[in-house]
């Protein structure tokens, strides 16, 4: 399996997409690297705080992160955008660090760390 360097994974993040919503916050990821199949969306943290009520909106499909698995994978082809929606408290204005650990059938475990500002 190919290990994807973190500087490449940062390119997945749509800059300035982090924003508060009525029931939490969201941001977007766009696959600009290569076709992939997500088999796990594991740890998800913002500023070190874990969040568990996470869904992905891909096209017109909204999938809870907990439902993504090897037996229920999520195709993430190149040029696809996914909006990551997090329910819970809104984020304070300012800079935030987002950490995502996910699993891909093709590339194994991926660790993505991004900084953005609301």
* φ/ψ (deg, to 5) at 66: -70, -15
Mean pLDDT score, 22-27:
96
Q: Which pLDDT value is given to residue 3?
A: 77
Q: How big is the chain, counted in residues?
A: 118
Residue 50 has pLDDT above 90, yes or no: yes
Q: What is the pLDDT of residues 2-24, one digit of tens each?
A: 677 788 889 999 999 999 999 99
Spatial distance between the Cα atoms of 25 and 47, rounded to a whole number of angstroms: 13
Q: Which pLDDT value is given to residue 1?
A: 64
Query: Where do the domains of the chain lie?
Result: 6-117
CATH among 3.40.50, 1.25.10, 2.60.40, 1.10.3470 for 6-117: 2.60.40
Q: What is the pLDDT of residues 85-103, one digit of tens each?
A: 999 899 999 999 999 999 9
pTM, to two decimals: 0.90
Measure Cα distances from 58 to 47, 96, 104 in Å.
25, 24, 16
């Amino acid at each position: 399996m190919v290990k994807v360097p973190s500087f490449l994974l940062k390119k997945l993040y749509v800059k300035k997409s982090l924003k508060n919503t009525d029931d939490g916050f969201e941001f977007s990821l766009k696959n600009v690297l290569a076709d992939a199949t997500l088999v796990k969306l594991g740890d998800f943290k913002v500023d070190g705080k874990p969040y568990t009520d996470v869904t992905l909106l891909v096209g017109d499909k909204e999938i809870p992160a907990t439902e993504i698995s090897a037996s229920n994978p999520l195709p993430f082809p190149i040029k696809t955008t996914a909006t990551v929606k997090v329910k819970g408290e809104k984020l304070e204005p300012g800079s935030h660090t987002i950490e995502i650990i996910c699993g891909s059938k093709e590339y194994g475990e991926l660790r993505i760390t991004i900084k953005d500002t609301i």
